[in-house]
Amino acid sequence: MKLTNLETEFLGKNYIFYKEIDSTQSEIWRQIKEGKIENGTLVMADIQTEGKGTHGRIWHTNKNNIAFSFYIETNCNTEKISGITIEIAKIIVDIFKEEYNIKLNIKEPNDIMINNKKICGILTESKINSKETKFLVVGIGINIEEQNFTEDIKELATSIKKEFGIEIDIKKFVETFCNTFEKSLKERIKI
């Protein structure tokens, strides 16, 4: 899959897609460690075998769901990115409302829910030096088509297909997210 409708200056311009990977978030951190990463790099996968959730939990990702992480160089006062995870959640909720007429709820700080079940998780990690945030690594996982959840999460998680029975254009969703989030980010910090 290629992102062909980006209106961004940097977010998603360096786009890496894997059919299968351990974790898109881990891949971003590996690239940072190797010093091989460009600002705006977006790593996406069809399947994650060890996707990262918050508090060290695993985020299960099978085919035809959304799993991506991105790297943004912020180099700004930490206060300027305060509440960024909630802002990302609002953008995701707005896309589903505007494009598919689906109303989802945000469970602060980083979950998106429907009928008290989790449909999306956001993991925001950063590198901070004194009071400056150098960069962000953000992972987003959205259950789009998942029908069968494991015993440990079947009462806690659901998917768009399971709840609404509709198809989501994954490519268009990710492009819309990138276009919207980059604009929002530019209002917060000078990039």
Q: Which domains does the chain have, with CATH numbers?
A: 15-188 (3.30.930.10)
pLDDT (0 to 100) of residue 49: 84
pTM score of the predicted model: 0.92
pLDDT digits (tens, 9 = 90+) for 50-79: 766 555 555 566 677 899 999 999 999 999
Contacts of 161 (CB under 8 A, 6+ apart): 144, 145, 146, 147, 167
